[in-house]
Amino acid sequence: MSNGWDAVVLNPIDELATALRHLKAGEVVRFRVGDQPCELIMKTDVALCHKFVVRDVVAGEKLRKYGEVVAGASESIEAGAHAHVHNIKSLRAVQK
């Protein structure tokens, strides 16, 4: 979290960023990856506290936040698109 940034990437290896305000499709958002300032055009709306991917990911990829795997992509997701229960899934307590 840093003043004036629109989203936070908690660890430079993370694919998932968290929105620090309500973000709109088509707007340019600013965030840092490590010390590196980055910009991205939002593909979808992303509400405050919700997540988006910072790069294109393909179905089956493991996705990280806090530098730790928190989900698998259940479909391909474009950079700047909302990543949530509709397109990412838990990898734990999965029914056999």
Partner 1 sequence: MDQFLGYVRPDGQVGVRNHLLVLSATGLTGPTGRRISQALPGAVFVAMPYDGGLLGEDRDAQICTLIGFGVNPNVGAVLMIGGNPPKLDHLAKEMSKSGKPIVSISMDECDHDAITLTERSIRAGAKLMLEISKLRRVSCPLSKLFLGLECGRSDPSSGLVSNPMLGLMADRIVDEGGKAVFGETTEWLGAEHLLAKRGATPAIEQAILDAVLDNENRAIAAGLDLTGENPGPTNIAGGLSTIEEKSLGNIAKSGSRPIQSVLKYAEAPATQGLHAMHAATYAPESISGFTASGANLILFTTGQGNSFVNLISPTIKISANPDTEARVKEQLDFTCPDVFSGEVSLEDAAPRFLELIIDVASGSKTWGEVLGEGEEVVSRFGGSL
Residues at the site binding partner 1, with contacts judged by CB under 8 A: 1-5, 8, 10, 18-20, 47-51, 65-66, 68-71, 83-85, 88-96
Candidates 3, 2, 5, 1; CA nearest to 23 is 5
Residue 69 CB, nearest distance to partner 1 (Å)? 7
Beta bridge partners of 88: 73
Return d(Cα 18, Cα 82) in angstroms, integer. 10
Q: Output the smallest distance, CB 8 to partner 1, in A.
A: 7
Cβ proximity to partner 1: between 25 and 91 the closer is 91
